[in-house]
């Protein structure tokens, strides 16, 4: 098999890249380890930045997103039961976020890619990437018990944190950074109308909680738990009770309903300071993980492939390898910003030390400052909705 750009991974990064390349007449084929059903039922993120929505509109894949996605113009922050609202519109010149589940994004992108004649080899793990230091890289894969080779001009490893792309980068080309946080998120989806029209991020002496949503009938909520916690220790009643205490504020009650999805996700920050070697390029979770507080993971993956697609367009259509050569440097500016913001949101709202400790007082001082300073609130708002691409140029 032969193509121009061989893409490993049919997550948000791989699918978005494929569609961006198609728009510019560049060929791509996607290899995906898992089945189509598995990829489309994987419940993960749900917050789309303005940039992400704009890219999907431009690609013509946003019909359902615009119909079913929920546009939010603000966010609630809560500390010790006191709630304040950050309005995006007036602080960011009208930018906002859209709530729409990642698995819906993946479904939409897959449908459009396949309907336009695109190919995805599902249940086809990439086994190794060879010759990426030459002009003829190869991706060796397995499909239905047989091995095969995808020959391409370039390899885009969009294969997530556990993929083979990063492991293939020569060790002397990058440094990596990892932080493991001493807590995890227990996330649920429930058949119940959201108890809020906008998201609520809360610090409470019992730990962090987040109220998000998926539709007017489905709520998505998270609580901070210890890394050693097991989901079996969390019957539905216990989860609702904890959520309602942590998110609570005077005169407000949390509506509860049947939980139909539960999972625990550990939290980490990870990143490499180089995302390319020869004709191999990494994008999305393959190159970096941010803790989920602030909802940056999916949006970073989309921003990476926007830059990568610009690089390929330069190479194939403008006879210039400059943007491709600078891909890592360009993408890393936003990645560092997102690492900092995700870390900021995580440390502000999670219980890290005893309630009342020095660390707690710093968290509280920040929260109090958000309420009195438009400048500080603006900093949070502009990072939360996502800085425009031009900001980093």
Residues assigned a catalytic role? 72, 201, 292, 296, 384
What is the dihedral angle through the alpha carbons of 37, 148, 142, 284, rounded to the nearest 10 degrees?
A: -60
| Closer residue to ligand DHB, CB minimum distance, 45 or 223 | 45
Residue 28 interface partner, choices ligand FAD, ligand DHB, none, CB cut-off 5-8 Å depending on type: none
End-to-end CA distance of the chain: 37
Structure tokens at 272: 């490499």
Residue 39 interface partner, choices ligand DHB, ligand FAD, none, CB cut-off 5-8 Å depending on type: ligand FAD
Give residues 14-53 in contact with ligand FAD (rule: CB under 6 A): 14, 31-34, 39, 44-45, 47
Contacts 24+ apart (CB under 8 A), 20-24: 20/55, 20/59, 20/305, 20/306, 20/309, 21/309, 21/312, 22/113, 22/116, 22/118, 23/59, 24/309, 24/312, 24/313, 24/316, 24/317
User: x/- site string to ligand FAD, residues 102 to 121, per CB under 6 A?
Assistant: x-------------------
Stretch that binds ligand DHB, among 26-34, 45-53, 105-113, 268-276 (CB under 6 A): 45-53
Structure tokens at 161: 């944190």
Q: Which of 295, 252, 277 is nearest to 131 (CA)?
A: 277
220 lies in the binding site for ligand DHB (CB under 6 A): yes
296 lies in the binding site for ligand FAD (CB under 6 A): yes
Hunting for tokens 């010790």 — which residue is that?
A: 80
Question: What is the total count of residues that contact ligand FAD (CB under 6 A)?
Answer: 32
364 lies in the binding site for ligand FAD (CB under 6 A): no
Q: What residues contact residue 333 under an 8 Å CB cut-off, 6+ apart?
A: 392
224 lies in the binding site for ligand FAD (CB under 6 A): no
69 lies in the binding site for ligand DHB (CB under 6 A): no
265 lies in the binding site for ligand FAD (CB under 6 A): yes
Q: Which of 101, 160, 194, 314 binds ligand FAD (CB under 6 A)?
A: 160
Residue 220 interface partner, choices ligand FAD, ligand DHB, none, CB cut-off 5-8 Å depending on type: ligand DHB
Cα dihedral sign, 104-44-199-293: negative
Q: Which of 74, 101, 284, 311 binds ligand FAD (CB under 6 A)?
A: 284
Q: Which of 280, 8, 36 is nearest to 136 (CA)?
A: 280
- E strands, 133-226, are 138-143, 146-157, 176-191, 200-203, 209-213, 218-225
Stretch that binds ligand DHB, among 30-38, 41-49, 229-237, 323-331 (CB under 6 A): 41-49
User: x/- site string to ligand FAD, residues 61 to 90, per CB under 6 A?
Assistant: ------------------------------
The distance of closest approach from Cβ of residue 300 to ligand FAD in the complex, given in angstroms and rounded to an integer, is 7
Q: What is the DSSP string of 21-77?
A: HHHTT--EEEE-SS-HHHHHH-----EE-HHHHHHHHHTT--HHHHHH-EEESEEEE
Three-state DSSP state, 119: strand
Residue 165 interface partner, choices ligand FAD, ligand DHB, none, CB cut-off 5-8 Å depending on type: none
| Closer residue to ligand FAD, CB minimum distance, 121 or 203 | 121
Q: Count of H helices and E strands in the chain?
A: 13, 19
Q: Is 191 exposed, middle or buried (0-12, 13-18, 19+ CB in 10 A)?
A: exposed
Question: What is the total count of residues that contact ligand DHB (CB under 6 A)?
Answer: 11
Q: Which residues of 363-388 are buried (b: 16+ CB within 10 A; e: fewer)?
A: bbebbeebeeeeeebeebbbbbbbbb
Residue 212 interface partner, choices ligand FAD, ligand DHB, none, CB cut-off 5-8 Å depending on type: ligand DHB
Q: Which of 16, 168, 224, 293 binds ligand DHB (CB under 6 A)?
A: 293
| Closer residue to ligand FAD, CB minimum distance, 158 or 188 | 158
Residue 293 interface partner, choices ligand FAD, ligand DHB, none, CB cut-off 5-8 Å depending on type: ligand DHB
Stretch that binds ligand DHB, among 3-11, 43-51, 153-161, 242-250 (CB under 6 A): 43-51
Binding site for ligand DHB (CB under 6 A): 45-47, 99, 199, 212, 220, 292-295
């Amino acid at each position: 098999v032969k193509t121009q750009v061989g893409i490993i991974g049919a997550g948000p990064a791989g699918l978005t890249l494929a569609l961006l390349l198609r728009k510019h007449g560049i060929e791509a084929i996607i290899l995906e380890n898992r089945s189509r059903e598995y990829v489309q039922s994987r419940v993960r993120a749900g917050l789309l930045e303005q940039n992400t929505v704009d890219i999907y509109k431009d690609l013509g894949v946003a019909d359902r997103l615009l119909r079913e996605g929920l546009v939010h113009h603000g966010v609630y922050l809560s500390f010790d039961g006191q709630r304040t609202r950050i309005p995006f519109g007036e602080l960011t010149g009208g930018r906002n976020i859209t709530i729409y589940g990642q698995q819906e994004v993946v479904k939409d992108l897959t449908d459009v890619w396949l309907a336009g004649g695109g190919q995805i080899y599902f249940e086809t793990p990439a086994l190794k990437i060879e010759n990426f230091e030459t002009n003829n890289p190869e991706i060796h894969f397995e499909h239905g018990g047989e091995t095969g080779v995808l020959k391409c001009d370039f390899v885009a490893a969009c294969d997530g944190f556990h993929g083979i792309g990063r492991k293939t980068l020569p060790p002397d080309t990058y440094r990596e950074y990892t932080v493991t946080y001493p807590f995890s998120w227990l996330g649920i989806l429930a058949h119940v109308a959201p108890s809020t029209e906008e998201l609520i991020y809360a610090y409470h002496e019992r730990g962090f909680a987040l109220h998000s949503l998926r539709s007017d009938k489905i709520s998505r909520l998270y609580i901070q738990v210890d890394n050693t916690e097991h989901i079996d220790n969390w019957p539905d009643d216990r989860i609702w009770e904890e959520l309602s205490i942590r998110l609570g504020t005077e005169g407000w009650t949390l509506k509860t309903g049947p939980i139909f999805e539960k999972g625990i996700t550990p939290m980490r920050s990870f990143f490499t300071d180089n995302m390319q070697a020869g004709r191999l390029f990494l994008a999305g979770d393959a190159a970096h993980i941010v803790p989920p507080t602030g909802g940056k993971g999916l949006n970073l993956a989309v921003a990476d492939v926007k830059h990568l697609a610009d690089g390929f367009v330069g190479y194939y259509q403008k006879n210039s390898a400059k943007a491709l050569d600078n891909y890592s440097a360009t993408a890393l500016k936003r990645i560092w910003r997102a690492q900092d913001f995700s870390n900021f949101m995580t440390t502000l709202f999670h219980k890290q030390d005893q309630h009342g400790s020095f660390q707690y007082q710093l968290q509280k001082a920040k929260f109090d400052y958000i309420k009195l300073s438009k400048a500080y609130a603006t900093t949070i708002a502009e990072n939360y909705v996502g800085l425009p691409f031009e900001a980093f140029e």
